[in-house]
Structure 1
Amino acid sequence: MRLLSIEVKGCKCFRNRVRLDDMDPGINVIYGPNECGKSTLIMSLARALFDKCTTVAREIEEMRPWNTRLAPEIAVELVLDKQYKLEKGFLDNPYARLYEMTDNGYQLFADGDRAEAAIREMLGSTLPGRGPTKLEHWGIARLLWFPQDQQRFSKPTLEGSLQDRLSSILGVTGIDETEAKLIETIGRRYGDIFTEKRRSYRAGSDIKILMDEIDETEKEIRDTEHKLQDIEEDVARLERLATDIRDLEERKRDIEKELEDISASVEEVKRLRAELKVAETELGRLNERHAALYNDRQAVRDLKKEIGLSEQDIAHFVSELKSVDDLVASLGQREVELREELGAEKDRLAAARNKRERNQQLSKAVAMAAELGSIKQKLDKVADLTRQLDEERERRRSMLVVNKGDLERAHKLNESIRDLEAKLRATGLTLSVEAEQEVDVCCFVGTGKTEKQSARVHKGEKAVFAGATEATLLIPGVVSIRATTGASEVVNTQTALEAAKREFRELLGRYGVRDVTALEQTRVRAQAADDRILHLQEAIKALAGDKEDKSGLEKAIAMMETALDHLLEELEIGKDQLSGIQVQEDATLKNEVARLEKAVNNLETELKRCNESLIVANKKKADIEVKRAGAEQKLSSARLNLERLLLKYKGGENELEEIYEAVGRDIDIQRQKVNGIKAKLPDEMDDPEKKQQRLQRALEKVSEEHKSASMEMARVDERLKSAGVQGLYSQKARLEERLAVKKQRLQREKTRAKALSLLCSLFELRQARSSEALVKPVEDKITAYFASVRGKGGARVRFSKDLTLDDIEVDGNLVVSADLFSAGAREQLYVAARLAVGEILAQDNRYLVVLDDALVFTDRYRHDRMLDLIQNASKRLQIVILTSHADKFDALPAKLYDLEQLKAGEVPRR
């Protein structure tokens, strides 16, 4: 397909009709700033070629210009097998008309749906199920049109109509219609048997059904075998149960006879155990009584011991209290003495500090008075310098300030005047006068006698006068001679000279001088005055210091006098007394203050220690008093408890001892009785009562086992009667016959499935070889293009099984995804791929390649190589480039379309 022209109206930013005519069969560059409609123009072309005019999808609605009710209208002239023109309207005015070029011009070829179907057939495009078309529906254009934004990195693919066209051009033998139908039938049959991953049989297939039926039959056989096995086990179980029942009945009779034999011994043992229980109870009561008496005896001893210890503690605490009272009295006396000494020492310290502070203030007043006198001396000097500075500034203000630029300009004008005068003398008029007698001669030079030259010429002498274009020689009272010249160089030189002199006079006139030397002297005098002013300012600043000037010194003096007066007022002395005051050394007073401060600190430390000791002594006294009170309380409590304890015994502690010994004797008698009864009882192993209990438990267990075995035997017998053993054997035989038949059918079906799998593999192998024959020339061409852009080899492009450019083989062994390359490299690769495929397709026709804002990520060197590639491809392809930077494509022999000019109705530049 080759594009001849495109016309749009009512499409986004194109409200009015805009037309691109006479498009070059080679390279066309459509340029303009961002948002001027470059991509809109190409998208309008796509909508006209690939979408139905009746589509009302959002994408079509968005083509309408903002805030208008305009409907998109597009007209395209193109060359396919013939030259056609397609006119199409959308939304409010849907229509489609296709014209073909005849000897009589364009004639209607088809309209409506037939026109759209015809153009789709020519372009190999398709329609989606619903909505607008997308890139994948655009046939060959889906690869040859390079979109902008993120779609620029969509990987090129060779599917559909593009694959068919390439196969035809490259002579690759594909699969014909009959083979395709056979492959489809085999594939469908294969799909009925196997899952998509070919790892298992599909549910619902004959093989899967047979396998499931075989599994079910085998399960039924196993269940039947299990039932037969259970019956055989039940028969054996029945025999074992009969034997067990007979054994249990015999064991039961033996136990019952043994129980009857030991019944008399059991009764005797029971009687002895009853007597033992009564005796042990009495023994326990006596032991409890004896233990209570023992505890009372021990409590009496403990209380008596506690009373003795408490009396000792009280005596000790009384002694300690006396010692602590003496210490508290001593510390109290010492505290009073220390407080009196500390008060006296603090008074002496305060007096010493006041004395030192007054001495420091006196010293400060004397120093301030001295400094004040020094500053006043400086003020006198600064006042004299300030007067000189004011006089100098007044003189400086009366001087003219010569601008440095004016001085430089005056020098340049003076040099220019000398050069122009010399040039005039070389190229202008020269009048030579030789006097026969002494005579006065005047020469007026320049038009209108603007410059006068005079000389007295004596007899025999010569006088020479130079002019430019005109000169008048005058001998008063004798003769007047006028000479002129028409030379253009002289005229120009004279004009320049007069202008330079006029500007020179005006410049000197502003400063009231007659020459450059006087002007320089004026500037030098001003600079000398500035230097003197600066010197005086620095001298004033050096004297004034941080006070800066006279006023600062005066303010400082006023402040110091005020401060001095205030200080003298505090000291209660006059200024006239300062000179007679003797100031003591501050170090002596400082040492005295330090000595007194140390003495005060020592007394305060000793007082603090005394107070701390007094606090500790008082605390100790309080603690002893608390302890004494506790001991007295403990003594009183012990005596009271002892009295209460002995009240139970009328005879006191002696009666307690007698009762304790009597109860001990009763315990010994009762213990002998208990031991006598225990001696009559049998050992635990020979105990008839325990033996009776063991035999009864054994009898109960045997009876329970006999009952359980009898019930189990009845259940097994009933199960055997209802099992129908003969029927189960017949059922197993029938199931085994059915299983054999199904396994034979399954083997036949698996053989057929294997044959189908082999056929599918053969067809896949053929398709792979066909794809390889198709893809390899494309890979070779793209690889060569990409290498020329990179400026080096070593990177071969590879198409995947679905014919998508997916991987790049680097250095012959490493395969990496194209996504791992930089944005610039991928952009170059995908543009090269489109140009390469386009050139292969162009063997039977010229195709349109669209590069929308391409090469934005490409560096300068690769950009130049890409331009060479585009220029070479344009010999066989029509290439349309959309860009905001037309200068980047100046090297291409392209037809240029300025979209802004087209929108404004101007003729675009070529």
Structure 2
Amino acid sequence: MKLQRIAIREFRQFGGQLVIDDLQPGLNLFIGPNEAGKSTIAEAVRAVFLERYKASHLKDLLPWGLASGQPSVDVSFELDGLACRLSKQFVSRQRCELRIGQSVFTEDEAEDKLAALLGFSRAARGPMKAENAGVPGLLWVQQGGTQELRDSTGHAAQYLRDALTQLSGGRESAGEDALIAAVQRELRQLLTARTQKSTGPLAEAEQKLAALSASRDELQQQRQQFDDNIRRLTEQQEAFDDAERRRPWELHDQKATLAQQRAAAVVELERGLQGLAQSLRVGEAELAVSVQQEQGALELEAAVAREREQLDAARAELAAAQSAHAQAERGVTQFEQASAAANRALELANAAVSAADLRGQLDIYRADSERLDASIGDAEKANAAVLQAARDAAALEIDGAQLKRLVALDGELTVLRARTEAAMTRIEYRLNGELSVGDQTISGAGVLRIDEEKRIGLGALGELRVIPGVSDLSAQLSELSALEAQHAQLLRALGVTSTGAAQARHEQWKTLVAQQQSHAKILAVHAPQGIDALRAALASTAARLQAASARLASLPDVSDALPLDEARRHADLARDALEAARKVLAQAAAAQSTGVAKADSLAAQLQRKEAQLSDDAYRRNRAQWQAHIVEQRVKVDALKNQRGERERELDAARLDDPAAEAKRYRASAELARNEQHERQLRIAQLRSQLETMGASGLGERLAALDAQLEQATRRKDELSLRASALSLLDEVLVDERDAALAQLRAPLTERLGHYLKRIFPQSSLALGDDLSPAMLDRDGRAELLDALSFGTREQLGILTRFAYADLLQASGRPTLLMLDDAAVHTDAARRDALKRALLDAATRHQILVFTCHPELWDDLGVRQRAVADLKVA
């Protein structure tokens, strides 16, 4: 199966029409960023082949913001050498049409035909489910699903088994599977499939046994609790009586009162200390203000002296910058004149190079014209041969599907005739006289075949009633008659007299088609884009030849031109020198401006600070704060001495922390009261529990539970023994069936090894019952697929699908592979190996690859088709 054209209209993000034609029979690569529409194209192909055109759930196919749209997809493809076309429109005005050669199918008939051709089943209602997707669900990989292989393989397992049966010559026996299924059904009533945990009657027996054991343990605990409660009641009563005699909480209350009095005295001392500290902070703040003012005056005097020196230095730097600026202006003028002369010489050298290039182009155009003339002649001859082969093949074309049906009917008729012959009752006779059999008379020797109840008259001896032993013989005869009628009708429809004649005619047609394709390849070699394209190329070459001649004539005289490299070197040197001179001038101008601004700024600052120092008010204020500094220092020292004496008194009073002691004693008194109250409550609770448990009959209940527990144990052991026997029988039957399936799986195993060795040399892949990969064996170590990394499972998913496609194609089934953003979790080395496998598979199958990483796939030797370009087209 080879897609040739895809047309998508009003489908999700494609509000208009998107057409993809010129699809190659091998690898086709589509690129674009996320949300460019790659997955939408893949989904359109899936929808047109798999989804029911009348399904009501497909409203999500409507284009964004276009509620009244009519999503439609039209694909053209080739199947077994026949041109096919499929068109579907969804949501509103639904329609479906399938053309295969000259045959046309519509509506449900078309969808049934698609399912039979591609190997999937139609959902009864609703959306296409994974279990119905069959072969397309296996080979058409959606985004992010490359590593998920088990479910899709299971849904396509029957189609794969049919292909394996056809290729290996083996057969599957439904009897073993039916017996295994029956044993497993019985076993599943006792044990689960995956974890082998108990279920059904066995789980109920185990749960009942566990519940009875728990009840017995609970009663035994209750008996133990009864004994423990008696002992605890005695201990609690003795402790309660002792506390009532000592009354420790009253002693703790007296100690708390004394400690609270000492804590009040400490609080008074702390309050006096805080007052002294506040006075000290005020005095120190006033002193700091005066000291800061004096420090500012000293710093101002130092700044005046320092800025006088800086102003002298700035004026000297300004004079040097003005001299450098004048010299730089003279240098720029000289280099501008030299650069203009070098540029004129460079333009003349470029004209000389252009003239040489035009002379070379003229030679090339003349050679191209001669080559295109020869190619047009060869292409016209090949085109005539293609048309003649096409006419001859059309005269012999035969419907491939009807031919396959005719061959299948031949096989069915042979088997049914043999079964009918064997089912009839056969009587050999040698008679000297005559006998009546039903309505006819027989004599002599011969064979009598009886397909229904007959009466044989024996004259005076009576009669015999013969009844065939096969009860459905009449049904077999009816089926045989119906098949013979279908066989004759197919022969008439194909216009042949026998199956052999039809096959011979089909072989002649395939030979002519091959000749047509051979001539078409020759035509493609001479004219890949068609003969008209060659003629257009010839005209274009002639136009270029004329244009190049005109350009050569328009160029100036270049006889005195310097070599281009020398002229370019002189121009570059002149330009670099000019740029350097301009930079020097800019730096000199910047230095001159900076010098002027710096000198003016320093002069203004120095004048302002000298005026501040010489102000009379400033001098009087300075004398006042110098006197205030001396007074405040004396006051601060006195306050510090008073604070030290008060801190020593407070430390002595705080030594034993009277407030904490008062709190501790009050808490101890409260704890003692609460503990006594809790003892009283526990004594009442224990007495109540003992009275209740003493009247419940614990001994009798324990004896009854022991009897029930013994009965439940026997029931559980019986079911466990049955489960073990069924498990053993299941293992034996599965081993026998697997041995029979080994021959059946040989073709698939061979194809898997062909691809697997590209990434994992010296390795093998074990298959499950559903033909899905189950375990990878490499370097002597077996690993389950679920234990492998995400990237490794993704790579195995791609290679395995290539092997499935080879298997299906070898058995005559159509194949098409679609990979949407596959191998994104693959390193560079393995990606190269995957690319080689992809190119290998593309020689046998058509493959559509969608990726948002074009830079990783640009070495495949195929054209990358950007989705954005398709939208614009």
Output the TM-score relative to the length of structure 1: 0.44
Question: Larger Cα Rg: Structure 1 or Structure 2?
Answer: 1
So what's the TM-score if we normalise by structure 2?
A: 0.45
Query: Using CA pairs below 8 Å that are at least 6 residues apart, which structure has the higher relative contact order?
Result: 2
